[in-house]
Every structure is written in structure tokens, then in C-alpha cells.
Structure 1
Amino acid sequence: MDKGIIVSPIEILASDGFSFRTGISLESFNQYLLYWNHIVIPTNNIVHVGVPHEDLLVEQKIISRPKFSLRSIGGKEGSKPLIDCQMLLAKYYMDMEPGKWVLAQSGTHSYFTEDLAQSRNHIQMELANILPVPPSGTNLEDILQFKLERKDELDALWYYLDKVCLDVQKEPDRALAQRLALHDFGKVVEDSMRVTSERWRCLQLSDVKVQVSLDWKTVVGAFTAPYALDSIPNVFACAFGVAASSLKVNWEKGLVPTAPDEQRKLSYLTSVKKNLILAA
């Protein structure tokens, strides 16, 4: 199945949504281009946040820019009008094709408006140093060509990320961390870094937080504390002189995007590290 992502054209700087800045960094945009087939970025009548090669990518149906009519942005409402646009689109696409689409925000905090979100039990998986990203100056054609040539490796990365999400859903306990140490996920992370470095000598790494739906009734009492796996096998990352990929799992109740019951992944929060990693 193709993968679709609904992106907000702002970066949330505080959990209350009042501190934010407009724009999508070139590193984040490269990440979206490399790892997703379809990118939806809402725009509006007040401010249009453009992205590189926008007309060409719209023509190729890689991105779409649905337009909303807003009364105001900022002030007493903060980023709420902009996030509302994203959440309305996320509900539309998730209802239409559950499992294909996911909502994503960039920065250090997620922000979901109460009137368009739901309070739901969920697991939050924090994956560090997990996605290699081409640097900001990378040519568009290079990214799209690499994406085509290395489709199998990139698809494998997302296949096993989905599998990890499913494993966590079924058995979110401390024992799972030990099994993940030998999981194929570690190998595909390593493979993705290897093939990406073959194309680009400089890379940046991305941290990802994934909200995973949870049927709390089936797992009450199964665990009592968060756990961490600080060494997903990733020799290649270590060869760059950076910390190995790691996984932390927390479970909580809070606001998440409204989504069908069968939607496993609810949202992503991504943060691309600014420091460049030089391949050997």
C-alpha cells in the first residue's frame, strides 16, 4: 500500500500551541519526499507556506495543497486555526483509507485541538536516530530517483516499523524490549542507512515519535512502567560516531487525532537533527 502523510506547514514550539513558527524545513521536506508517496499540506487565504518545486510536485501528484478560508492566525488562537486544517484533512483521509494515511507534525511538541481530537489510550514510541535524511541542498531529482531505485529497502523499513507497532499493541510489556534486540527491524534500519550513505556522503538523522492506538481493556495490569531499548542493533550508525538507534515506549491517555478503530498509527512527531553525519 502507498503511504500518505498529512503535514502541517508550521513547527510547534510549545505543547499549548501558542508558540510556533511557519514553514517546513528543507530537511523535513526531504524526509517527507523520501519516505512517503503522497504528501498533503494544507494552505489558506491568509498565508501560503510554499515548498521547493511546488508546482512540479503538484503536477506529478506527489503533493497536494488543499486551501482553507480562515479569519485569523495567531493572537489569542495561536496555531489552532492552522492545526484545525490539518486535523480536518487527517480525519477525511483516514476515514477514506484507514492505514494508508497518518498525521505528522515537526518539532519538539505535538498539538491537537480539543474540538477535533479525541481522548484515547495510546502508546507512544520514541525512536531515536532512526531515519537517514538527505541534507537540505540535495537535488530533487536525486531524491526521487533514489526513492525509485531503493524502493525495496525503504518499504522494508516501514513494514518492520508497522510490525513493531503491532507487537507493542499486542504485548506492550518489558519482555518485548528483549525480543526487539534481535528483531529484523534493527537490520532494516542499518540497511536504510547503508544504502542512503552510498548515494549521499553527508546525511542527517531523524528522531520519530509514533502514537499507536491501544485497546486499554486488553492490557490492563500487563505492565507497570515504561521501558527503553537503548541499543537496537545498528552497527552502521555507530560507525558514523553517533549514538545507536534506540526505542523508548510509554503508555498514556491523552488527545490524539480522531481516527477509525482499525487505524494503528495515529500520528508522527519528527525532528531532523541539524548536524551532518559524514559517511565513511
Structure 2
Amino acid sequence: MAPPIEVTDSGIISGKIDLKQQIRMLLFFWDKIILPNNNILHINYSNVDDINLLQQEKILEIEEVWLTGLYSANKDMFLNVQEEIFHSYNHDGAECLWSLQQLHEDLSFQASKNIKTTLQRTIEFELYKAIPIPKKSIPLEEILNFKEKYNDELMTLRLCLSAMYDEIIRSPDQIYTKSIKLSQLVKAIDDLHKSMDSHKVMKNKFLASKKIILRTDFSDLIGAIPAGYGIYEGMNHLGIPSPLSMLLASLGAFIKIGIKENKIIEDIPRELKDYAYISRIEQNFA
């Protein structure tokens, strides 16, 4: 996970990131968490009850990285720390497949010299206020109990989000596959909502957002989608199943579809290809 601080061009802002909420969101979707720390900007977590509990349960581990040389306390420093830890854990034969969290708006791999990016026209699907997340008032024990009982629903949603890009890009009929994958996604979201609503504690949730970026060629849709195209008009024409529209409406959410230039990784390194990712739930994940 990313450290609970915000790094801007003007410096470091502490206290702006809601650590209790971050922990619950991470715990809800992931089984293991590594919290990086370093000797240049060291954060003391000893008095954070949530951190202590997850350490006792062997779910969370604080990984200390010793930096030598001259470093400025900026975004690149934290990226270096995160990526050093990530690559030390995410290797052939590793017990788990790890994801890399980032809290700034755009995914960044500046610390990795071997990753080349290019600007490319993409289609963006944004599900606003559609993904249920436990509120920070919910005890961690309740989240763990819920995960054990409803593991299938959580895994189905994770797999839908993770597989959407790969399955569409590999399909000989990408428009049809996109429609099928969106139908599967809406069912997975709906099932998770129902499971949480049936739980006496977990029904206390808030709705987060999800962005899916597809770099595939949707040339037959380009003329039909103006930049910033949004809400419900023309969804069916764009191949989006009507149940998704109805579900999002019932949640007070909406879908936005647009064409945008995004910084795309030209050739994703092999070690980054196979792990599941959620590109945005409130903030960014790689």
C-alpha cells in the first residue's frame, strides 16, 4: 500500500489521507498488505490500533527500506521504496501475486527505468459510486468475517475487474465481448451489494468509483461517443447492457464513457502482466 501521506509539487501533506478508510478498503479486496516505511521520512504506526491488529493477524507487515545517498522527500522517493519492495516480493515462485497501490491521480512508473510509456487514444469507462466499500466505522473483525463468508462474491468481482481488459483485447469480436464483460461486471457488483445489504454490520457502506481504461481500437464507436459522454443516453446503442444502467441508477451512480489520451505502458514487463489490478477505486492501483 501507499503510505498515508500526499506528496505534491510543493511538498508533503500529512493527515489528508484517511488511514482508517484506506485500511478497510484494502482489507476488503486484498488478503495481505505490506506497508512501506523508510529512514528518510519514517512514520510511527505503533499507536495505530488497526495496524497493530492486522500485524497480530499476520495480514499486514511493515517493511522498512533503508535509503542511502541523497534523496528528496518527493513522489519519486516513495515510488522507489514501493517498487523495491514490490519486486522483492513479486517474483517467480512467490507465494502471492502482489498489486501496487498509488494514491495520486495518474498511475506512475517513473522510478522504473525500463518501463516506456506512450500517449495513446483510449476508451474510458468510469463507474461512479458503484463499488461498495466498508465504512471506516466497521470493525476489522467484521470485514474479515464477511470475507470468509462471502469469498466467492468478492473473488468474482475481482476477477471481472481484472480480466476485462485482457479478454476484450484478445477477442476476435471486441464489441460483443465488451458487452458480455460489462454484463458480468454488473452482476458481480449487484451480488456483492446484496450480500452486504443482508449483513447486519456490512450494510453500513459507501459507494466508490472504478475506472477502466481500454486501449483497444473501438473505431466503430468513435463517432458515437463524444469526449465526456455520460449518464444514460445511448448506453444500449454503445453496447452497454440495460441492467447496468438500472443498477447504477438505483445506487445513485452513473457511468461515464469518453475518449481520452492516456499514458499507456508500451510493453508491460513480464513480472507485471499476471497479477490482478484495479485501476481505480477512489484512488489508483496498478
Residue 111 of structure 1 corresponds to 108
* Residue of 60, 65, 88 corresponding to 1:92: 88
Residue 98 of structure 2 corresponds to 101
| Correspondence 1:58-207 to 2 at 5 A | 58-70=55-67, 76-96=72-92, 97=94, 100-116=97-113, 118-120=115-117, 126-128=125-127, 129-171=129-171, 175-176=175-176, 179-180=179-180, 183-199=183-199, 200-207=202-209
Residue 24 of structure 2 corresponds to 30
- Measured after TM superposition, the shift of residue 91 of structure 1 is 2.4
> Against the structure 1 CA distance between its residues 9 and 116, is the aligned structure 2 distance closer, same or farther, given a 3 Å change threshold?
farther
Structure 2 alignment gaps of length 5 or more: none
Specify the code of the residue in structure 1 equivalent to 2:164: V
Partner-residue secondary structure (3-state), 2:101? strand
- Measured after TM superposition, the shift of residue 95 of structure 1 is 2.7
Report % sequence identity: 17
Q: Deviations over 1:236-262 (max 9, x none)?
A: 44334x123566676744469855264
- Measured after TM superposition, the shift of residue 159 of structure 1 is 1.9
Indicate yes or no: 2:254 matched with 1:244: yes
Give, in whole Å, the separation in 2 of the partners of 1:78 and 1:182: 38
Residue 48 of structure 1 corresponds to 43
Give, in whole Å, the separation in 2 of the partners of 1:261 and 1:82: 19
- Measured after TM superposition, the shift of residue 145 of structure 1 is 0.7
- Measured after TM superposition, the shift of residue 53 of structure 1 is 2.3
Q: Is the 8 A contact 1:17 1:111 kept in 2?
A: no
Give, in whole Å, the separation in 2 of the partners of 1:197 and 1:271: 21
Give the structure-1-normalised TM-score. 0.71
The answer to which structure has the higher strand fraction is 1
Structure 1 alignment gaps of length 5 or more: 1-6, 273-280
Q: Is the 8 A contact 1:190 1:236 kept in 2?
A: yes
Give the structure-2-normalised TM-score. 0.70
Q: Is the 8 A contact 1:160 1:184 kept in 2?
A: yes
Q: Deviations over 1:121-174 (max 9, x none)?
A: 687855423421111111111111111111111111112223312223325997
Partner-residue secondary structure (3-state), 1:9? coil
Specify the code of the residue in structure 2 equivalent to 1:62: I
> Against the structure 1 CA distance between its residues 264 and 59, is the aligned structure 2 distance closer, same or farther, given a 3 Å change threshold?
closer
> Against the structure 1 CA distance between its residues 17 and 110, is the aligned structure 2 distance closer, same or farther, given a 3 Å change threshold?
farther
